[in-house]
Every structure is written in C-alpha cells, then in structure tokens.
Structure 1
Amino acid sequence: MTGSLWPVAQQTAAATLSWWIAKHVIHHHQPVFAPITTLVALNTSRGGRGTNAVRFVAGVVAGVLVAEAAVALLGDGYPTVALAVFLAILAALVVGGERVTIAQAAVSAVIAVGTGIQAGSNRVVDALLGAGVALLFSQLLFPAHPLALLRRAESVTLAELAGALALTARALEGGDTAQREWTWEHLRPAYTRLAELGEARADAATAARRSPLWWGRREPIERETRYAAGLDLLGASCLTCTRTLFALDARGRAAFTPAVGALSDTLRRLATAPGDHAVRQRGAEGALR
C-alpha cells in the first residue's frame, strides 16, 4: 500500500494540472477529457507511461478523423455511427492495435458522430493536452528509473524461482505421497514472474531510450538488461531441472535433492540484493561447489 502512494500522488497532481490548463488556459467549459487522458496514460507500469500516452492520442485522432469522413459521406444517422466505429477500430489496428488505441478510437468516433464534429475536435485538443501533461510527468519530472525497474523484477523472479525449487525439494524428500500431491500448477507463478521480467526489460529499455534524463547513462542499463536476460535462461534451467528430477528413480532423486535445496537458498539470497556484486559473486561460487 505504501509503495502505491507515490504513483497515486503523481496521477492526482497530473490530472489536476490537466483540468486547470483545460479550464483556465484553453477555456473549455467541460474540461473532463484532458484529465481523463492524463489518468489513463499514467495508469500503467512506470516504464510504459509515455508509450501509453502516445497510443491514447493516436486512438483519439484516428477516431475523430474517421468520424468526420463518415459524417461527410453519410450524414447523421445510425449507419454513420456503425461505419465510423468499424473504420475507427480498423484504423486503430493499422496504427498498432493496442487495447487503449482501439478503445479510444471507437469512443472518439462515437462522440464525434453523436455530439458533433466540434466535440470531436475538442476531444483531440483535450487528448493532446492530457498526453502532454502525462509526458511531462513521466519523462521529465518523474521518469522511471530503469535500473530500479529491472532489479525489482529480478528480485521477485529470483524469489519465485527459489520458492519453486524449495517446494520441489520438499516434495522429493517427502516420499511418494508428497510427490503425488505436487503438481505443475505449483510452477505457474514462476512462469508468470519470468514473463513479467521480460516486460520489465522492455519497459526499462523504453525508459532509457525516451527519457532525456537517461540518454547519457545507457551503459549500466544495457549491462543490467543483459543480466536480466540471463535470468530467463536460469529460470528455464530451474524448471527443466524440476521436471527432470521427477523422472528419476528414488536413488537419483535422493542424490540430487540436497543440491536443489542449496540452489534454492542461493537464489533466495540473490533475491534480497540482485544488484549487489558481492552477493552475485557469492551466489556464483556457491552454485559451482
């Protein structure tokens, strides 16, 4: 809960600023879409907030342009709404096909046809304003820390892998009954964490590439990204090891069980400080014994 307060405070301040600019600078009587755009753009993982803002604007612009074309072609009416929504979704698919882009294209098309082209144009202005504020907060004032993103994901992944190996060791030590109760569902969280680690790598690379504050400090981020990529191989190896152990006979399982427990302990120590070189070195030495 405490870790969520800072992002919540950022979103609150950004939405309030969007509302103030829309009402007192652009003089919109109903300045609702600007803060909505800001909130939607910032309501994602920290490394992807800038991308989310751009996708939102792309959807709004596509929807309004398509709606204007549909109204010019068919005038008002139900067929116009249907055509505008259909073409807006197709246009969103062409420009990327992300969920937020598709949704905003369709919504903007409905608003432009249903309430008038002027309302659609105002929505474009609001979207640009809201996205601009979101970019200000996400790329300049409070950019994501790429190394923090990576190490947080690394820590969670290592802890999950350690838990999966510890569970495997307990099942192997517990005899036939424990092994029958063990299922592959016990490994599903580890697969989920590995997928999230891949997303964190992509978000960190995006944050380093797009935030001006990180343009001159790419080398440590690229190095940590390579390390995080190695965790994919480690994770696959751990899960393969688990599957292989259950295929062994009783003597083989008994021989390897202590090593599985020791590897689990090593990964758990790494999870406490994935960025600490000394911890990494001790973990590597322990794994080679």
Structure 2
Amino acid sequence: MGEGPGKKILAGTWQRTRGQLWPVAQQAVACGLSWWVARLLFDHHVPLFAPIATLVALNTQLGGRGTNAVRVVLGVVCGVLIGQAAYMALGHAAGAVAVGCAVLVALLAALALDGERVTMAQAGVSAVIAVASGRPAGAERVQDVLVGAAVALLFSQMLFPVHPLKLLRGAETAALRRLAGLLRLGSQVHGNDPEELLPAESRALSQLLHDVDQARTDMVGVARRTPRWRVHRSSVQAMSRAALRLGMLGNSCLLLVRLAAESAPETEGPLDAAIDALADVLEAYAATEPAAPARRRCVRSALAVAARFPAEPGAHHAAERLAVGLAVRDLLVVAGVPMTDAERAVREHAPDAPLGSLYG
C-alpha cells in the first residue's frame, strides 16, 4: 500500500528539518561561546547582545553568514552612534521625540551605507537602546556585538565554511526539478488557456531562479573570502557563468509549455515526446552528481532529443523545432558546454559533436 497524505507530509517535514539540524547546532554552540567570551573579556553584568549578534549573523543562508555578520556590526555601530548623539542632545526628557528622531536618522544612515534589512533593523534597535539606556549601554552593546560577530565569522569562515560548489548545486537542483515538472504539465494538458495553466508555476519557478541567483552570488563570495575554498575559484567562476543561463532555460521551457498547452488534444505527437524526453534529462541532471562524466551523459541525451525532432514542413512545426532547440542549447550551457559548441551541436543535429571542456 502507498503512503497516505499524512505520512508524505511528515516525511517532507523531516527532510526539511534534517537539512537544518547541523546549522542549528552550530548556532547554539556559537551563541554559548559568544556569551562566555564576552563575560571573559568585558566587565559588565549580562553580555546579552553577544549571543544575539551571533544568532542574527548565522541565521541566514549558509553562503551569506559572513556578510551578515559584517552587516550586523555596521548596523549596531551606526545606531549606537546616532542614538548617543540624540541622547546627548535631547536626553530622556524628550522621550518619544528623541527615540523617533534617533530611529529615523539611524535608518536613513543604514539605508545609505548598505540598504539591507538586517543592517537597518540593527541600526534602529541600537538607536532605541542607546537613547533609552544612555551612554554605558550603547558602548556595551558595541563590545558585545563585536564579540558576537567575531564568533560568527569564526564559525562561518574558518571552522565550518560551506562548500561553494554545493551551495549553488542545491539551489540549481531545486530549479531543475521544478522545470521538469513544468514540462510534464505542459505535455499532458492540451487545448487549455496558458494564462490559467502557467501563472502559479511561473511564480514558483521565479522564486527558485531567484534562489539560484542568490546562491550564485554567495558562492562567489565564499570562494573569494574563505581561505579553504580559494583553490576552487576557477571552477566557481565557470559554474557561476553557467548558472546565469538557468534563467534563459526557464524561459525556453515556458515557451515549450505554451506551445504544448495551446495545441489541440488531437495534435499530440513529436512535441509532447520531445518535452517528456527533455523533462527526463532535466530530472537526471538534477539527480546526478555534478561531475564531468555525468554531465556529459545528460548533454548527449539532450542533444539526442533535438536530433530526433522531425523536420516537418509548416510554420507551426518550425516554431516547435526552434523552441526545442533553444531549450536544449540553454541546458547544454547550464551543464557547462561553451556557448559556441552548444549552438553548433544543436544547429547541426549532432548528438556526438565534440563539445569542448565541461567545467571541472
């Protein structure tokens, strides 16, 4: 008997939770270390903000933890300085006016310096604390945050740096699987209005492609800043360039789905077969390890899809051939094939064409 809906939900929840157990454990240990170091270094009663800064810095995407730590420090220092100035100028007597003015100036300053939400939030909160508590509390907050950020950087950049290639691969895999599901949906539904079929899938795909772009940016940053992964910079740059093409692959797949959805039910044929075969290739590429031999197998399979598509006359079939060719070409570039080689192989219908060197 198959699994019921409840078991599937529990299984999905466990999969998501299991993937976060190690980062959560790191955050807990790092927060405890921040508290201990701050108590050891500074003579104040409760180092409250050290573990808070560590938690805020580490509680983000794995590739962005180091940058987040810097943003926390920037926001706190900015907010404390402005809050101290407001306290000195207006004191406690002004009350809400002093707090409002300090928060306004702190948010504008953080917006000009960085513009990220975490920086602005830390600046605003620090301004409130500095006005409400006076000079000593503001200085203690800066001390604590420096310790908390230092511990976060120790964990994210030295002890447990994320592998830059795996960082992108995870986001890329999710997007490829969504694209495969989108293609299968298009090959199964004929005679439907694409405006009813595609919006929900397009929104989900857009979010995944945004995640890929964020992972690509984080991957490059990790390889540049983390000593352990600097040796991978050439592979990282190659993967980054290929990942930029994933958005184009998404557009090509959407075009294929539109063509399939707009066709009448009785016209099922070569396009549906090509879409299903391309979905198989996407799923295989998403499931495989990103080593060169596995990528080559997927590349050959994708080229075979384009080569098998019949060269039938008619404008409609010409549009279908063009759409299939675009999708195959974009997939080849995502897999690491140089653009000129990919274009030539698709144009010449050559599944065995030499394709240059895939990134290692």
Band of TM-score, shorter chain: over 0.9
Task: Please state how far the C-alpha of 1:92 moved relative to its aligned partner.
Answer: 0.8
Distance 1:183 1:164 in 2: 9
1:133 aligned partner, one-letter code = V
Distance 2:214 2:283 in 1: 22
Q: Unaligned stretches of 5+ in structure 2?
A: 1-16, 305-360
Do the aligned residues in 1 keep the contact of 2:189 with 2:260 (CA within 8 Å)? Answer: no
**Of 186, 207, 224, which residue of structure 1 is paired with 2:222?**
207
Distance 1:225 1:186 in 2: 25
Q: Matches of residues 8-157 of structure 1 in structure 2 within 5 Å?
A: 8-76=24-92, 77-78=94-95, 79-157=97-175
1:80 aligned partner, one-letter code = A
Task: Please state how far the C-alpha of 1:115 moved relative to its aligned partner.
Answer: 0.9
Tell me which residue corresponds to 2:23. Answer: 7
Do the aligned residues in 2 keep the contact of 1:171 with 1:179 (CA within 8 Å)? Answer: no
Post-superposition CA distance 1:61-80 (Å, at most 9, x none): 01111112212222322222
Tell me which residue corresponds to 1:186. Answer: 201
Do the aligned residues in 1 keep the contact of 2:99 with 2:131 (CA within 8 Å)? Answer: yes
1:16 aligned partner, one-letter code = G
Which range is displaced more, 150-159 or 128-137?
150-159
Structure 1 runs of 4+ aligned residues shifted over 6 Å read: 177-181
Q: Unaligned stretches of 5+ in structure 1?
A: none
Distance 2:210 2:296 in 1: 25
Change (3 A) 1:135 1:226: same
Tell me which residue corresponds to 2:345. Answer: none
Task: Please state how far the C-alpha of 1:244 moved relative to its aligned partner.
Answer: 3.2
Q: Describe the SS at the equivalent of 2:149.
A: helix
Do the aligned residues in 2 keep the contact of 1:273 with 1:279 (CA within 8 Å)? Answer: yes
Distance 2:221 2:133 in 1: 37
Task: Please state how far the C-alpha of 1:252 moved relative to its aligned partner.
Answer: 5.6
Greater RCO, CA 8 A, separation 6+: 1
1:158 aligns with 2:173: no
TM-score w.r.t. the length of structure 2 is 0.75
Q: What percent identity do the matched residue pairs reach? A: 47
* RMSD of Structure 2 on Structure 1 (CA): 2.0
Task: Please state how far the C-alpha of 1:110 moved relative to its aligned partner.
Answer: 0.7
Tell me which residue corresponds to 1:236. Answer: 251
Do the aligned residues in 1 keep the contact of 2:87 with 2:130 (CA within 8 Å)? Answer: no
Task: Please state how far the C-alpha of 1:215 moved relative to its aligned partner.
Answer: 2.4
Q: Describe the SS at the equivalent of 2:44.
A: coil
Change (3 A) 1:177 1:217: closer
Q: Describe the SS at the equivalent of 2:80.
A: helix
Task: Please state how far the C-alpha of 1:183 moved relative to its aligned partner.
Answer: 4.2
> How many residues align structurally?
286
Do the aligned residues in 2 keep the contact of 1:154 with 1:274 (CA within 8 Å)? Answer: no
Which range is displaced more, 1-10 or 257-266?
1-10
1:259 aligns with 2:274: yes
Change (3 A) 1:181 1:54: closer
Do the aligned residues in 1 keep the contact of 2:58 with 2:68 (CA within 8 Å)? Answer: yes
Change (3 A) 1:179 1:207: closer
2:180 aligned partner, one-letter code = A
1:245 aligns with 2:263: no
Distance 2:143 2:195 in 1: 61
Do the aligned residues in 1 keep the contact of 2:107 with 2:124 (CA within 8 Å)? Answer: yes
TM-score w.r.t. the length of structure 1 is 0.93
Q: Describe the SS at the equivalent of 2:245.
A: helix
Task: Please state how far the C-alpha of 1:171 moved relative to its aligned partner.
Answer: 1.3
Post-superposition CA distance 1:220-278 (Å, at most 9, x none): 11122222222222122111222233344556654311111110011000000151322
Q: Describe the SS at the equivalent of 1:246.
A: helix
2:248 aligned partner, one-letter code = L
Tell me which residue corresponds to 2:340. Answer: none
Tell me which residue corresponds to 1:167. Answer: 185
Post-superposition CA distance 1:79-133 (Å, at most 9, x none): 2212111111111111111111111111111111101111011101111110010
